[in-house]
Every structure is written in C-alpha cells, then in structure tokens.
Amino acid sequence: MTSLTSRAKFAAVDVYREMVKEIPQDLLSEPCVIPFYGCGALPAVLDSRRMFHNIESNKDNLFVYESNEVYNKYAQGVYMLTFMKARKGVHDYREPVDMQTFDPKFSIRNLPYQEPGQGRANLYPTLLENLKRHDYEWTADILPTAWLRGEGAELKKVRKMFLEEMGLYKITILPFNAFSEFGANLETAIYYCKKGYNGPIEINYYGSEESYEYDYRVEDQIIAPPTKEEAVAIYNFVKNYDHYKVTQVNSKAFDKVKKELSPKKDKDYPVVTLLKKKIEDCEIKYTDYLFDEDSNKHRVVTSYLAAGWGKGDKHYGNIVYVPPGYQLSSTYKYIVCDTKEEAEAVALFLKSKLVHYLAHYWRTSRTADGPQWRCVPMLDRFDLTTDDEIIEHFVKDTELQERIKNDPLHKKS
C-alpha cells in the first residue's frame, strides 16, 4: 500500500492514452473535469490528444483539482504545458465540488481508492457518489476490478452506481502490472460510461483487438474472462456447484498458547507454525494445550495470504495435506475432508490448472476468505490425477477445455 501522494508519480501514460482515445470526438473540446488527478500525466494526455486535433485546452474547458496544493505545484513543474492553461483547484476528498459554472461534459478519472494509510476505508464510493451529481455525457474511470464481484456493501454500491446510474457500456481490463512500477499491485480496469446507456456491456482486454458483449445487468456479479464462452462457463461454476467451506482455527484460542509454544517434543500436541510443501518439512512446535477443534481430522491447509499476488498470480498459495494429530496456527485456512484419499485428491485438485484458472478470473482479494473460493466446485471424484483429467471431468466443451489448458496465466506460473 502506498500513500496517496505517491499517485503524483503514477505516470501510466499508456493506460491514460487508452482511456483518452475512447473520448467521443464530438466531446473532445467540451469542458472536462479531472478530479483528484493524482499524476499530471492524465490531464497531459488529454491535452496531447486535443493539441493533435488543434483544440486548445484552457481554463474554460479543462478543470483539474487535487486534495492539496503539493500536487498542483509538482504537476505544474513537470507538465507545465498543460497546467499553465488549465483551471486548477484544491478540494477535500469528501467535499462536493460546485461545478455549476464550469458545467463539465465529460470526465476522465483515476481516483484514489482508499484514504491515506494502511487499512483505511475505501474512498472511491464517496468520490463517485459526489461526482455522479454532475450531468456528464461521458466518463471514464480507472478502478479496481474488486467491485465487479466483491461482496462488501460498498463494492455492491459502486456496482449498482455503474450499472444503474452511470450508464456503464464498456470495461477494458488492464494488465495486473499496469501500476506496479508505481508501487500499486492490484487488478484494475477502465470503466466507460455514457449518459443513459442501459444495454449489454462490452468487455475488452487492454492491448487486444477482440471484445465481446455480455448483459451483466442481469447478474449479481461481473465475471469478465477473455471470451463470452468462458464467462458463461465460470458463471456456471459459481452458480451451479457446491463450494468448499474454508475455515480456520479460532485466533483467540491460538493466541493464548502462542507464547508458550516450544520446539521441545516433551509436550503433548504438535502445532504447525510454518507451512511448507510437505508436512514433514513444516515447522512444528509443541504445546500441552488443545486449542484446534479439528486437529483430529484430515485437512487440506493453505496460507491466509497467498504469495505471488503482487505479481498478478491469483492461485491459492501453498496447498498441503495435514493428517490428523496436528494443530494449526490461526494464520492458516483449511478444508476438512473425510479421508486421507479425499484430502490428498482435494489438495491435488486445488493445485490444478482448472482451479488456478477459475481463481484467476474470480478472485478479487489476496485473502483466502470464503468468497474467494466461490468459483471452485467441490470435487466429486478422488481418482483424478492430472490437469487434463480434472479439466475434462468438469468441462465438456473441447474448445473451452483447450482455452483453459492454454490460458496464458499458466505460462506465467
């Protein structure tokens, strides 16, 4: 997590160009507002397209503002050509800005997502709420993909705003690393809206010429893989299958014994304190207390926070079969199985290409909390030993099987 001021250096010019090139030509010279622009590159890219079409930006058709004068000063030094011409302002994040006299017709935005600091509240629902009061003909926003499928109240609220009020007509999914060079590791997309639109939504991947339309307005959540067929298939896994119940040890119970854990084997209960790829390699400590209610069960265990998220890899992390007799520290999530065979088969399944694929197009958070697993169907056969067998068991369409097997994400991992 970076501080908000780091946004001043988010010169993701290619992404901004992608956004700006979508601005309808007839609106280009109309008043545009760029609220909380963060990096001056965003207004500069708009200005660049205007100049290319011999349209001069000025204080009547370009209004940029930020939460603090430090942004304006810096941007003025670096993007002088644009910032000398534009109307500039300073406004609080939560302050509704009166733009009656400016009367913006369109807006391009890369709004801050959260308030400054670690673990702070989401800011963009409030910002969007304030901004949608203006009567824009057209808007484009860069926002996380989390709100497409996230189940939090604020995420749902944002989803509703885009779908029902703002006229969402197109989503361009950006590469996971679009902002990573600036320290922001999360999946984002550009959301294009036009006033009054209510039809199907076009999905497009950044850099790809291909796109498809899907009527997401009839779904609770938006799943946007590269093709429509895949979207249908993933919706099927989400809606029509049972999913694993993923749980964890009561953290308060674990905290009570945490300080007394000892590497000496003279106590009754072994505890997995550091998960490795095999149970034999895990770090084990011992305690006289029994705090893990499921320690007598066969379990498939994974970390709460999977590694690799920062690089765009959304797999479920280290998946390990832990036999009965071991307690777990509260930092791990697990699935309880009836038998060793089942647990080993589930572990293999959760590491398969199919699950990796589903996770990639479904997960919105690095955590291993329940909603993040809701795309993974429960395994009903424990004799599947290869990726191909698993895919062919769950997906009957051969073309789709090939897409899943050959999805570029497997190359990365």
Partner 1 sequence: MALSVQALWDTDPDFPSTQEWKDFTSNAVRSTDNVWYANESIANYDKANLNQPKMYRWVTEDLFRKRQAKEGQTIQETAAQRVAQYQTTERKIIIDIIVDPVFAESGADQKFHTFREGFQPDDIIWLRDEKASDEIIFYRTDEKFQTSDSIVREALRAWTQRSSAGRIDLDVRVPSLLMLISYFSGNRKQRRALGKLSVYELCARFGKTIWSLVLFELSGHQTMIFGAYYLSSFGSIRNEVNKFNQFSHMRTVDTRDEGWQEDYANYIAQGYKVVVLCSLQATDEGWAKVETFYDANDVGLVILDEVDFGVHTDRSSSRVAHIIRNSEAVAMSGTNADRMNNNHFNVCRFESYTMEQMLELKHALINDPSIAHSTLQDLKDLTQNTWLDNVAVREQLGELPEMSFYQRHVEGETDMTYQKLASDPLQHEAIIRRDSLILAGADEEFPHLSLNNVIQKASNELRKMRKTAEHELLDVIEFVPYNTGVANGAIDAYGEIRQKAFDSVSFGYKVVVVHGEKKHVANREGMYTRGQSVKIENAEHYVKDVKAQALEEGYKGVWIIASSMAQRSFSIGSISVIMLSFDKGDAGGVNQRLSRGSTPFDGKTASLVISNSFAKERDDKIVMTLQKMAKARAARTGEDFYTAIREVKLATSMFRIADNGRSIQYDIDEYLAELALNKSGVEYNIARSLTKQILASDLADAFKEGRKGARNRWQTKLDSTFFDDEDDNNRNTGERKNKNEVSPILAVVQNLIDNAHLIDSLGQPSENRVGFVNSVHNICIDKEKRISFEHEFLIDPSVFYAILKEQKDIELDIETHLSLSLQEAKQEAQAIYTEGW
Q: Residues interacting with partner 1, by CB under 8 A? A: 1-3, 5-6, 8-9, 11, 13, 17, 21, 40-41, 44-45, 47-49, 51-53, 67-71, 73-74, 76-79, 81, 90, 116-118
CB 361 within 8 A of CB 221: no
Q: State the Cα–Cα distance between residues 264 and 262, nearest whole angstrom.
A: 5
Q: Which is nearer to partner 1, 44 or 355 (CB)?
A: 44
Taking the complex as a whole, the smallest distance from the CB of residue 116 to partner 1 amounts, in Å, to: 5
Place of tokens 């499921």: 294
Q: Are strands 327-328 and 32-35 parallel, antiparallel or unpaired?
A: unpaired
Classify 253 as helix, strand or coil.
Answer: helix
Taking the complex as a whole, the smallest distance from the CB of residue 26 to partner 1 amounts, in Å, to: 16
Of 14, 74, 86, residue with least CA distance to 39: 74
Q: Which is nearer to partner 1, 82 or 295 (CB)?
A: 82
Tokens coding 308: 């690799």
Taking the complex as a whole, the smallest distance from the CB of residue 151 to partner 1 amounts, in Å, to: 26
DSSP 61: T
Taking the complex as a whole, the smallest distance from the CB of residue 394 to partner 1 amounts, in Å, to: 40
Taking the complex as a whole, the smallest distance from the CB of residue 35 to partner 1 amounts, in Å, to: 17
- CB neighbours of residue 51 within 10 Å: 13
Q: State the Cα–Cα distance between residues 304 and 281, nearest whole angstrom.
A: 19
Taking the complex as a whole, the smallest distance from the CB of residue 21 to partner 1 amounts, in Å, to: 7
Q: State the Cα–Cα distance between residues 178 and 189, nearest whole angstrom.
A: 10
Q: Which is nearer to partner 1, 48 or 365 (CB)?
A: 48
Q: Strand order in 298-303's β-sheet?
A: 247-248, 332-337, 298-303, 320-322
Diameter of the chain measured on Cα atoms:
81
Q: Which is nearer to partner 1, 304 or 382 (CB)?
A: 304
Burial label for 238, CB within 10 Å (0-12, 13-18, 19+), is buried
Place of tokens 């963060």: 38
Q: Which is nearer to partner 1, 44 or 346 (CB)?
A: 44
Taking the complex as a whole, the smallest distance from the CB of residue 76 to partner 1 amounts, in Å, to: 7
Q: Which is nearer to partner 1, 67 or 248 (CB)?
A: 67
Q: Which is nearer to partner 1, 31 or 40 (CB)?
A: 40
Q: Which is nearer to partner 1, 237 or 309 (CB)?
A: 309
Which ranges of 166-267 would DSSP assign to H, the alpha helix?
A: 228-240, 251-258
Place of tokens 């068991």: 393
Q: Are strands 327-328 and 269-274 parallel, antiparallel or unpaired?
A: parallel
Q: Which is nearer to partner 1, 290 or 305 (CB)?
A: 305
Taking the complex as a whole, the smallest distance from the CB of residue 4 to partner 1 amounts, in Å, to: 8
Taking the complex as a whole, the smallest distance from the CB of residue 184 to partner 1 amounts, in Å, to: 13
| H or E element in which residue 109 lies | strand 106-109
